[in-house]
Amino acid sequence: MAKKVALLTTNFFHPKSERIITGGAERYQVDFCRLLRDMGFNVEVWQMGDNWTKEFDGIKIHGVPANKTEYHTFPELNMAFYENAMAFDYSVYFILSLAYPLVHEKSIGISHGVYWDWPGFDTTTGKQEIKQEWLRRMGISLAGPQKLVSVDTNTINYFNATLPSFYNKWEYIPNYVDTDLFCPHEEDLTKDKIRILFPRRMVPVRGINETMRAAEILTEKYPAIEFHFCGRGHDDTIEMLMSQWAKKQERCYYYWKPFEMMPEIYQMADIVLIPSRSTEGTSLAALESMACGKPVVAGMAGGLSDLVLDGYNGYLIKPSVENLVSSIEELIKDSKKRRLMGERGREIAISFNKKRWDERWAKIIADVFR
Amino acid sequence: MDNKLAIFIPNLINWDGEKQIIGGLERYMIALAEIMTEMGYDLSFHQFAHHDFSNNSLDWPVYGYQADSRELHKTIGRMEKATKGRVLYSSIVQQTSYRPQSICISHGVWWELPGSSPVQAQKYYENHVAKALEQAGLIISCDYNFLNVTRAIYPHLADQKIRVIPNFADSKYYYPRKPKNTDHVRILYPRRLSPERGFGILKEVIPPLLCRFPQVEFEFAIDTNKPEYLEIFHQWRENLTSKERILYCHPDYQSMPEVYAEADIVVIPSIYSEGTSFSCLEAMAMGKAVIATDVGGLTNLIINGYNGLLIHPSKESLYQSLLYLIENPSVCTRFGEYAYTTSQAFSRRVWEARWRQCIKRIYPLS
């Protein structure tokens, strides 16, 4: 009989509203469940929700009424999952903090990158004691699972520098890209225009505000350039404000596209911006731009330094307006450099091929789930 | 303001004040002192010692201050009293207080000793990192990892104070040489024998590899700073059956390119405490296939499967990765080529230009 894997996450579906926004972690989850299924496991998912069961991509997802968070952990949800999924052979804690306080015997915890490295995390946790309590609980989260998998080296190095006892549990499996789907276009699609793409969610931590200001400065200075902002906001108001702003600007455009359209969006660009201030893993958007042969201007945050070598396949910058403007200008002025950096990005992306991700994960899964 | 500037350093020469120390930090500071001298600063080095000394054998005076390794803070206190005006702190590990208009250098996260406790770790980042963030004018980090780890601990301070200037490979000396004409496969370990550099795991994987592959040989390019490490090395080597295929040498800085040139694979198996290692960068610049660990700044140099292998520092993964490269010479060639091209992004010229900017800003000359 097929062995059963239970996966715990927080919000694959929004617990109440119907507004579904697929981000990187959600795509990861779908691909991960497919991999488990291909390996012969039966998979079901648990998350916060009002006692419902839904289905996505052939996988059952159960909503558990346990919405309380304490110190950025979810003990209520964790315990509900512990009891509900007792009949399953193996467990996956899709977010590390979900492994607090108790885990099933054979389990794996996943980190999608550091998300506590922005000033707001300290402000929302408030006092230093609260952050200490969060860190203590993370220590328990790391102690439970047999294997800890991180999408970037930054998370591993952070935890080794703060909770050093789990050194040998960590495994680095970077994010992936389908390099057949995301590939360079044969022709130069923009001709005498230079198109600059910001393919992220419209949130401050991704550097949206700095990028908008840089767009104002650069479109005024260079008549040949266009700025494209492609991605959702957290709510309707943000998306409306973005549209209004873009309409007022010369050659600035705001829209979002379904995933199937994204290869083409990247192919149409000449320069891609991933100017995150923090909370980054090995960003799928960065990998996809690289796979499409584009130079990337990235923030020096989280896992981006696992993908971009400064001055080689793009730039790693502190994403201030000034730094954005000067690094984009470097690329605007030099089409040879854009092409060379793009080619190198493509070469690097090939080592992050989806097939390798499948192989690495299959090895870990076979090691732990037996 | 005058042009005098004191540099604090753990040890540029040994504690007896006689012999130059061979190491990354020391080379870094010599390269930096060269450009600062050219910019017009009058430099002096201040370091720990067995007894007070002053030494003029280098281009700058080096002053030793008697120190007890259990009470280094007392010696730092004496250095602080003895030096007036401007100070540059060559290592964030050395002290816990800083003059306001000063630069302090981080050579990578250093305290993540496996098996140490959260409380011990916290002492390090609170005593050293937090103090430097609060007091120093600027922290230069040699890798992105230190910045990112610091941001994750102190989200509101890290970006204000830290600037990343990755280490360099000097292309004047380090560049690919003609391929050698042997069918031997030489694996080079160009590091100290100290525990954090992973000699402990490397020595476990060597005997089975030598036994399995008669064409494989290992070379240790090691310093003689610590006689006790050398003794352990020789004891281990003497007891091996194929010890004639374990070579060793004690090169000075100038002869390192030749040592790399003879190698096919270079291993950097660090367990902890890594920045953007010179050894790693230079092996890359020489066009060698590098196996490095996913520790500290090594992650900012090697992209796994592109320009080398980036592994978890364990016996198992080190053995498997060496096996893979020994059996796949064409992969070695490809990694070496990409290692060379990526190393070009870490040029000495860029490093110097970035440093000059920072020095001008923090220590303006009238």
Query: What is the predicted pLDDT for the residue at A126?
Result: 62
Read off the pLDDT of each residue in A267-295 and give the average, rounded to a whole number. 97
- Best residue in A123, A148, A159, A305 to probe B by mutation, most B CBs within 10 Å? A305
Count of alpha carbons within 13 angstroms of residue B310, beta-carbon side: 25
**E strand or H helix that includes residue A142:** helix A128-143
* Residue A45 pLDDT greater than 90, yes or no: yes
* Residue B357 pLDDT greater than 80, yes or no: yes
CATH superfamily of B4-168+348-362: Glycogen Phosphorylase B; (3.40.50.2000)
Q: Kindly list the domain boundaries of chain B, sorted by start residue.
A: 4-168+348-362, 185-343
Contact B338/A at CB under 8 A: yes
Query: What is the predicted pLDDT for the residue at A119?
Result: 84
Q: Which residues from chain B sit within 8 angstroms of residue A114, using beta carbons?
A: 148, 152
Instruction: Could you please state the CATH topology (level 3) that the domain comprising A194-350 is classified under.
Output: Rossmann fold (3.40.50)
What secondary structure letter does DSSP report for A108? E
B319 neighbors B213 (Cβ within 8 angstroms): no
Query: What is the predicted pLDDT for the residue at A24?
Result: 87
Nearest chain B CA: its distance from A141 CA (Å): 14
- A74 burial type by CB count under 10 A (0-12 exposed, 13-18 middle, 19+ buried): buried
Query: What is the predicted pLDDT for the residue at A192?
Result: 87
Query: Minimal Cα distance from B116: which residue of A?
Result: A164
* Residue A362 pLDDT greater than 70, yes or no: yes
Percent of chain B past pLDDT 70, that is, above it, reads 100
CATH 3.40.50.10420 fits B185-343, yes or no: no
In this complex, which of B155, B345, B350 lies closest to A121 when CB atoms are compared? Answer: B155
Query: What is the predicted pLDDT for the residue at B326?
Result: 98
Query: What is the predicted pLDDT for the residue at B8?
Result: 98
Write out pLDDT tens, residues B62-81.
999 999 999 999 999 999 99
Q: How far apart are CA A77 and CA A167, in angstroms?
A: 27
* Residue B332 pLDDT greater than 70, yes or no: yes
Q: Angle at CA B276, nearest 5°, toward B271 and B280?
A: 75
CATH 3.40.50.2000 fits A4-176+354-368, yes or no: yes
Bridge pairing between strands A59-64 and A53-56: antiparallel
- All CATH 3.40.50.2000 domain ranges of chain A, comma separated, are 4-176+354-368, 194-350
Write out pLDDT tens, residues B142-193.
999 999 999 999 998 999 999 999 999 999 999 999 887 788 999 999 999 9
* Residue A17 pLDDT greater than 80, yes or no: no
Query: What is the predicted pLDDT for the residue at A223?
Result: 96
Write out pLDDT tens, residues A104-126.
999 999 999 999 999 888 766 56
Count of alpha carbons within 13 angstroms of residue B203, beta-carbon side: 18
Query: What is the predicted pLDDT for the residue at A127?
Result: 74
Arithmetic mean of pLDDT over chain B: 96
- On the question of a common fold for B4-168+348-362 and B185-343, the answer reads yes
User: Given an 8 Å threshold on Cβ–Cβ distance, is A118 in contact with B155?
Assistant: yes
Read off the pLDDT of each residue in B261-287 and give the average, rounded to a whole number. 98
Write out pLDDT tens, residues A223-253.
999 999 999 998 999 999 999 999 999 999 9
Query: What is the predicted pLDDT for the residue at B2?
Result: 87
Q: Cα-flanking dihedrals φ and ψ of residue A312, to 5°?
A: -110, -60
Is the omega angle on the peptide bond into residue A65 within 30 degrees of 0, that is, cis? no
Place A273 in a pLDDT band, splitting at 50, 70 and 90. very high
Write out pLDDT tens, residues B49-66.
999 999 999 999 999 999
Write out pLDDT tens, residues A55-84.
999 999 999 999 899 999 999 999 999 999
Write out pLDDT tens, residues A174-196.
999 999 999 999 887 777 899 99
| Count, residues in chain A | 370
Buried b (16+ CB within 10 A) or exposed e, A24-56: bbbebbebbbebbbebebbbbbbbbbeeeeeee
Place A21 in a pLDDT band, splitting at 50, 70 and 90. low
* Residue A210 pLDDT greater than 80, yes or no: yes
* Residue A269 pLDDT greater than 90, yes or no: yes
Query: What is the predicted pLDDT for the residue at B261?
Result: 97
Q: Which residues from chain B sit within 8 angstroms of residue A344, using beta carbons?
A: 341
In this complex, which of B113, B303, B345 lies closest to A348 when CB atoms are compared? Answer: B303
Q: Angle at CA B296, nearest 5°, toward B294 and B298?
A: 60
Q: Which long-range contacts (CB under 8 A, 24 or more apart) does A205-211 make?
A: A205/A118, A205/A276, A205/A277, A205/A278, A205/A279, A206/A274, A206/A275, A206/A276, A206/A277, A207/A273, A207/A275, A207/A276, A207/A277, A207/A299, A207/A319, A207/A324, A210/A275, A210/A319, A210/A320, A210/A321, A210/A324, A211/A273, A211/A275, A211/A324
Read off the pLDDT of each residue in B270-289 and give the average, rounded to a whole number. 98
User: Given an 8 Å threshold on Cβ–Cβ distance, is A117 in contact with B148?
Assistant: yes
Query: Whole-structure pTM over 0.90, yes or no?
Result: yes
Nearest chain B CA: its distance from A11 CA (Å): 24
Show the tokens assigned to B214: 């008669």
